Structure 1
């Protein structure tokens, strides 16, 4: 499936997107002054009047405020949920809130560049040209709704994560809404997600075409829905392709949570204790499908420490949210570009925004739809024809 074509944007639009991104990711903190108007005009090669109009829009959205004689500052609470200051009445019917749920992403993970940027770009490229103001909020495990939902200051909701049914019924159901990735069959709403079966099947088929038959699966989040779907796809794909299965090749475990939340792994963990059983005998897997590039990077380090070469002894497939971030290379091996999947997070968000706009237009056929996008396989240097028998 071809990627959604990117539209050309004016410098004023780029300035607005950049300022929103800086605020929502907390790179600009509450009360912090933004770059002066003259400097922004020079940097973006636009008139000062265009800069003022852009800032006026963000002031009206409640993200910035002006202080005469001092400059323009980030509104109190704006970097937390994007909804702290009251908004002007004309914006109330044209606001969309994106909810990131802590059931799958910590706030730190949500606001990281690799996750936040494709979400922001995908939503904004659809909503902004239509005049919708985008808000972003993170909902913790206490299920406290952001002020915009309590005050009903939005016209629609897009949410990402495993949703509490009671929270959805009380705070999201009253609005047109679309869920991302984590389909709950108890909820009658629309969903957009990556096709995880297709992802696993494509990986197996590509490796099989390279001559691999002993293919393993690596995930350290065995209790999470998306890894579970990919593992189920791996098992089903093996059967469809007539490939053998050995339980030792299913390198599948759950890493620890902290107070119910999956933290970012800032230090690379040692995967050797999990890989040793699979590689103890002569019939070790000649290829591994990893959950993403981070797990593939951890796997490489463990394999090298165990005396195996990548890809000569073991081919690896990883994955990432966007095709070119951060280049698809191993964390400690910048010379090694992964064969990997692009999981198309930006496209998923853009399709969800389009679904929501159709719901605004009263399209009843959109309710209850589940749209799945096919992941894109990008060939790198971590796979090669099978060289072990």
Structure 2
């Protein structure tokens, strides 16, 4: 019941529903159904229904609880198919009322400003803002601010440093009313293949201005360069050592994730806690996601999500069939390397689309045929390669 409550809460309160589903599950479905396991059968408790335009861009997403309309999101786009406005509405006694709004501003392909506002019954009132600065496609700074009724007041700042295209350091600072004060930082390390192998989170000691360890994540990969395990550790200040905390293990069918098992450290060993089982349709899109808890030595169903997609989501397997390629690692947490290109297809343009049809990144393949993915949110994407005459597109997973 805990997972069901969480999923319904997310359906109701995540303001940008399409982004939530891309982050958590991948492509945006036309119909999404959440079921609860009764012990003998699945019982539907909530659903979402989406409509799409002729370009396969989402127009509306409606959330239903027990078959009753509860909330909906309405999307608007610019000529470049970038989302410029999302209006969230709630249903009261059969009438839709405005609730909140997100407005996006872009510089080229980069989202440089997001403004959230709330409806007071007659007009929109500013609430929250994120301003982003880029160097090329690399996000170098984000500033979050809140509306005080008259002006925007700074709240949080993130500053990113890179080694090449790899994010090496992220620093967060808080605004004290006059100055930015350092709060935390994350350090990222990579192997020779540019795969993320660990990230270290530290907190700033305000007294002696030193950085103190807090927690870290360690990533390992299998022989196919697929993410195999994430291990999480907490820093024990008394003993000055790392202590195991949690672990996530991934299994695959081909390059598709088939199972994710989460375990916790009991002081001696990792014990399984819950797992997610994923199945896919003929187009390689997630068709079903089953959540289970580990109890008494057995896995027990708790909830299920079923995905049904619009016909336009078959882009990756039906539209481009003129040449082939592969890539690694998949899932990707930092970069994607294109492999096995046929002879004569070495100079290529690339475009990356999320599964609501939005172009999130484009460019020309560099000499080592790698594409940076570290600023894409978790989910499924479509990579399209083109040499001007021929095109091919395939899906890949971003997972941190």
Same-fold status (TM-score > 0.5): no
**Structure with more of its chain in strand, by fraction:** 2
**Structure with more of its chain in helix, by fraction:** 1
**What TM-score do you get using the length of structure 1 for normalisation?**
0.27
**What TM-score do you get using the length of structure 2 for normalisation?**
0.26
More RCO (CA 8 Å, sep 6+)? 1
